[in-house]
Amino acid sequence: MQERPSPKISVIVPVYNEAPNLKPLMAQLLEVMRSMGDTFEIILVDDGSTDRSRIELSEIKRECPELVVIFLRRNFGQSAAMTAGFDYAQGEIVVTMDGDLQNDPRNIPQLIDKLAEGYDLVNGWRKSRQDAFVSRRLPSIIANRLIGMATGVKLHDYGCSLKAYTGDLAKNLLLYGELHRFIPVLAKFYGARIGEAVVIHHPRTMGQSKYGIGRTFRVILDLILMLFFQRFATRPLQLFGLSGGFLLFAGVFIELYLSWVKLFQGQDIGGRPLLLLGTLLIITGIVLLGIGLCAELIIRTYYESSGKRIYTIREVLE
């Protein structure tokens, strides 16, 4: 990668089939960023668009020295596009936003000012969200409540892409699948201080939304993954071992009871469903204990081979 001068602010915008919105978006971004007086870069990550986005981005790049354009080989998803932007960004402050003109660049200075109060992440809150209620807002409200109750990270709007991060936090966020929805939870796991600010939200006027009500089930599955990360990522045996041990104990207790019934009361137990249940519980308990042990080995191998630590340091005073 060619060495570039490090700007103070990096703005990352993943785009996918947003050709009509790109020039208006860049005009708004440049107006806001140039008025701030700080050095900046704008990173547009084209996530394998199949419309005219590539042509539009190439034309915009010729007229804008602050723009960096990353073309992904195919559509990898928003999490991958954001990760590509994080990896390439060099700013002390990183801002992310959508490319559909629903986020307002005029909120960027507000988020950065809030970040300067000591936060590592400032999350946008679309308090007056301009989307359809049934297909977009209602699933979002339900998901926000579930995530907040399950993880303890209390925010109003996890799905808002307009966020400001410190550079070190952005570099340490590992996103895959569709985990961009859970960035505040991942940041909390990292040890970040998280704030929230109300932002403007515009109705979509050009292009088509890439999300619908069908993503709700995927959010629930990702939430289960987040709960595992948050509570058992470095000690999986405590989850699998505890549940496996409980099932194993229950199965052994059932089989001992049936053995007593057979030996001392002379009753036939061969046709009892309880016999099969006890056997099933014993086998399941042993399997879960084995999974826990394997997971412990994998976790230890991961940390030791990658050189990662199970802690993060905010500051050292010497």
Per-residue pLDDT at 86: 92
Q: What's the chain's Rg over C-alpha atoms?
A: 25
Q: How far apart (Å, rounded) are the C-alpha atoms in residues 111 and 154? A: 18
- What the block records as the tokens of 172 is 């340490």
Residue 65 has a pLDDT of 87
pLDDT score of 114: 94
Q: What is the mean pLDDT of each run of 10 residues along the chain (318 residues)?
A: 75 92 93 92 91 90 89 87 90 92 93 94 87 70 79 85 92 79 86 91 70 62 74 77 90 91 82 88 93 84 67 56
Report CA-CA distances (Å) from 47 to 53, 133, 160, 208, 265: 10, 27, 19, 15, 70
Q: How many CB atoms lie within 10 A of CB 59?
A: 13
Q: What angle do CA 89, 90, 96 make, to 5 degrees?
A: 40
The predicted pLDDT at position 205 comes to 72
Closest CA to 295 of 221, 229, 224: 229
Residue 303 CA, chain-centre distance (Å), reads 21
Spatial distance between the Cα atoms of 41 and 39, rounded to a whole number of angstroms: 7
d(CA 245, CA 262): 26
Strand ranges for 199-241 from DSSP E: none
Task: State the Cα–Cα distance between residues 91 and 166, nearest whole angstrom.
Answer: 9
- In one-letter notation, the amino acid at residue 169 is L
pLDDT computed for residue 1 by the predictor: 47
pLDDT (0 to 100) of residue 296: 83
- Whole-angstrom Cα distance, residue 95 to residue 252? 56
pTM of the model: 0.75
- What does the CA dihedral 134, 135, 136, 139 come to, rounded to 10 degrees? 70
Neighbours of 208 (CB within 10 A): 8
- Tell me the C-alpha distance between 191 and 84, whole Å: 22
Structure tokens at 299: 């976790």
Tokens coding 266? 């002379």
Which residues have CB under 8 Å from 311's CB, separation 6+? none
Which pLDDT belongs to residue 233? 72
